[in-house]
Structure 1
């Protein structure tokens, strides 16, 4: 996340293209689409801060990824401090690089900025950085995903079938047989937050079906310390959206009774 400031004006952007260019002297680079207000601000100030957000700061990554109007203060609800040069520094970031502009080059519809690192700050506590991969925020392990889900800041477009499986897997790995209420309550709270985007609501039978199937797959997995990605590689059938209909007829699943109460399969028994 890149930000800069000049007087009362403070701006930040979530940057998906960031690179270490040189160690001696320390120089970094990032790309920014042009034209943009942030690009104009940096051309004036020639200084900025690069933040490595921590795994619990998904909401800031999302916040600074959205376009804003000229009169909107992006930092109004973001805890931060100002450097003597007026650059906002977000509290709790895993690391911050204070930079002076080295050079900038326009390439196509983007500007490539190079910054000379003048100072670094690294959070001293044991926190993990926030990562972004395959259009989703992530971290070491699944902490970022689960934090975003529980805080209901996970983008709705990321709430895919695989995301449902990831959420269930995380809770089951953590709570075992006690995971079910965490999964159910989590889905219902997330659905409530995004009710304007959801065409069908919470479904009791579908939820309990996948809780059972994920639990069963975990129990028969060859490695108890398996990662979620390895888990799906070992049990790829879980990603098949038609798996449900190997056990239930569509008539059964589409019934109001199945939506409100768990129904046993009407094609074959669960494993």
Structure 2
């Protein structure tokens, strides 16, 4: 059962005195697209002014620390349970207690919330970056995202994740579409006290919340091994290359993989592979260079560059006797089938 209830005001006071936990980079729930016009100081900005305003806005907002939360809801009749990592969560009112969060549109989560009209805001603890990473991934329309994740049902059926720092159980109060996001307002029906220090993010660069917690978990080697997939390797390389450029990112990628492998050496089968690593660094960097949308999210990037997820990609460039050789494992071997792009 959930532990004793505290008031919304008490929960907020506790949140305000918690020190930063996760603080290197700032990230949003999702990347923003550029609107045609933006109100600024009572006037409408032109298209030429827009990038300057957006950069200024990012520079301000990335320095505002915020808790990382997972919003959950469920339609048990349809067997759909879903969660979404979000960093745009805030309190709006105390009388009545109202909170808000934002969802980029279009979104399966938005449609499900309109159907259920109830949700839980799970405030993650400092040791739950893996939850933030998992629920930052796009969900299949009919998939149960909470499969194999411990939870209990809240007062109106919304899933409550196990051992989170705190919980706000809400019903729909209102929802609006503003720019490229849906802004959700929830009336708080029940609160669960903070039982641990919450996971926070703070800024140096401007990334999505999912990328921030993923990269922090990777760098701290706290990323669950089951989440260290091929897609995770691509996400890690994409983040480093986007931030530092290929040349500076390459040693960070190599060192990071070796450090993570050492931490999980009891689970690693093949170990670090120099040719494999350099090959995908090159492919990801090349794809980024060709991308014509600098503010694209990783999920959008992969949707456009589907070949990076193709299991046969490596085989198109290397013969098995080359890529599986000890020499290729220890030092970079150029492809023998096709030249790199």
TM-score by length of structure 1 reads 0.57
Contact 1:205–1:258 (Cα < 8 Å) also in 2? yes
State the partner residue of 2:190.
Answer: 117
CA distance in structure 1 between the aligned counterparts of 2:238 and 2:97, rounded to whole angstroms: 41
State the partner residue of 2:301.
Answer: 231
* Change in CA separation of 1:246 and 1:117 when aligned onto 2, cut-off 3 Å: same
* Change in CA separation of 1:214 and 1:59 when aligned onto 2, cut-off 3 Å: closer
**Aligned partner (choices 262, 279, 285) of residue 215 of structure 1:** 285
1:117 match: secondary structure: strand
Which residues of 2 match residues 95-244 of structure 1 at below 5 A? 97=168, 116-117=189-190, 127=201, 140-176=209-245, 177-244=247-314
Q: CA deviation at 1:140?
A: 2.5
State the partner residue of 1:82.
Answer: none
Per-residue Cα deviation, 1:120-155 (whole angstroms, up to 9, x for no partner)? 88x9xx848xxxxxxxxxx62411111111111111
State the partner residue of 2:3.
Answer: 4
Give the count of matched residue pairs.
187
* Change in CA separation of 1:237 and 1:60 when aligned onto 2, cut-off 3 Å: closer
Q: CA RMSD in A?
A: 4.2
CA distance in structure 2 between the aligned counterparts of 1:224 and 1:60, rounded to whole angstroms: 27
With CA pairs under 8 Å and 6+ residues apart, which has the higher RCO, 1 or 2? 2
Q: Which ranges of structure 1 fall in alignment gaps of 5 or more residues?
A: 6-14, 28-49, 68-87, 100-114, 129-138
* Change in CA separation of 1:234 and 1:51 when aligned onto 2, cut-off 3 Å: closer
CA distance in structure 1 between the aligned counterparts of 2:276 and 2:294, rounded to whole angstroms: 26
State the partner residue of 1:248.
Answer: 318
Q: CA deviation at 1:117?
A: 2.9
CA distance in structure 1 between the aligned counterparts of 2:211 and 2:269, rounded to whole angstroms: 27
* Change in CA separation of 1:66 and 1:230 when aligned onto 2, cut-off 3 Å: closer
2:256 match: secondary structure: helix
Larger Rg: 1
Contact 1:145–1:154 (Cα < 8 Å) also in 2? yes
* Change in CA separation of 1:239 and 1:119 when aligned onto 2, cut-off 3 Å: closer
Q: CA deviation at 1:211?
A: 0.1
CA distance in structure 2 between the aligned counterparts of 1:228 and 1:60, rounded to whole angstroms: 18
Q: CA deviation at 1:197?
A: 0.8
CA distance in structure 2 between the aligned counterparts of 1:206 and 1:169, rounded to whole angstroms: 15
* Change in CA separation of 1:98 and 1:212 when aligned onto 2, cut-off 3 Å: closer
Contact 1:26–1:117 (Cα < 8 Å) also in 2? no
Q: Which ranges of structure 2 fall in alignment gaps of 5 or more residues?
A: 5-69, 75-92, 99-120, 134-148, 152-162, 171-187, 203-207
State the partner residue of 1:58.
Answer: 129
CA distance in structure 1 between the aligned counterparts of 2:340 and 2:191, rounded to whole angstroms: 61
CA distance in structure 2 between the aligned counterparts of 1:156 and 1:119, rounded to whole angstroms: 30
1:179 match: secondary structure: helix
* Change in CA separation of 1:249 and 1:151 when aligned onto 2, cut-off 3 Å: same
CA distance in structure 2 between the aligned counterparts of 1:4 and 1:120, rounded to whole angstroms: 7
